[in-house]
Amino acid sequence: MQISVFGASGRTGRPLIEQALAQGHQIVGLVRDPAKLPIQHERLQVVQGDISDPQAVDQAIAGSEAVISVIGHVKHSPADLQAVATRNIIAAMRRHNVRRLVSLTGAGVRAPQDQPKLFDHVIRFALKTMAGDVLRDAIAHAELIQSSDLDWVIVRGPMLTDGPRAGNYRVGWVGVNTSPRITRADLADFLLTQATDQRYIRKMPMVSA
């Protein structure tokens, strides 16, 4: 299938694209700087543009069957980066009749199934204190997705680490069958499965090692 990936040149986007190509998918990645995506493949189309540009987003989504967003804040990112990107993605998906949206966010965004422990409350308080804009943007992006009519899955992750894909991870909720970390490669594996899996449609699972 053809999958549009946003955040393609990031530290989670790269293993996601590598795994998707290995599985035979056609990938369209939107990046501001193509030099930051050092992957070349006949089934990889790189679209140069900014996630805040509706036309660039539209071009990257046209012809796809699913969208995976792994957009994250970096230094000097706009405070509303995820919300703006999500509005553009949802609008383009509606124009092109693309139903499946998989979006990555952090565990600070809560779901009804969560049973946060003391550690989870401490981490969320720290996020609100030190990165309040990022957390507010993550929550706003999730609310935009939840209010859409798309077949969405919001995947939440804990602390991300580098390392090879083990293929052995847990899917739960904050405080329920989870751990505090996961490799980006294993997270990418789960994100990719959600492009076709029906199990977590309109849910916000948390995946961890």
| Structural domain spans, the chain | 2-208
What does the alpha-carbon distance between residue 61 and residue 28 come to, in Å, rounded to a whole number? 8
Sign of CA dihedral 41, 47, 50, 56: negative
CB 206 within 8 A of CB 178: yes
Chain centre distance of CA 177: 21
In sequence order, what are the residues at sequence separation of 6 or more whose Cβ sits closer than 8 angstroms to the Cβ of residue 76?
none
Q: Does domain 2-208 have CATH number 3.40.50.300?
A: no
Residue 105: predicted pLDDT: 97
pLDDT tens per residue across all 209 residues of the chain: 999 999 999 999 999 999 999 999 999 999 999 999 999 999 999 999 999 999 999 999 999 999 999 999 988 899 999 999 999 999 999 999 999 999 999 999 999 999 998 888 888 888 888 889 999 999 999 999 999 999 999 999 999 999 999 999 999 999 999 999 999 999 999 999 999 999 999 999 999 99
What does the alpha-carbon distance between residue 205 and residue 154 come to, in Å, rounded to a whole number? 7
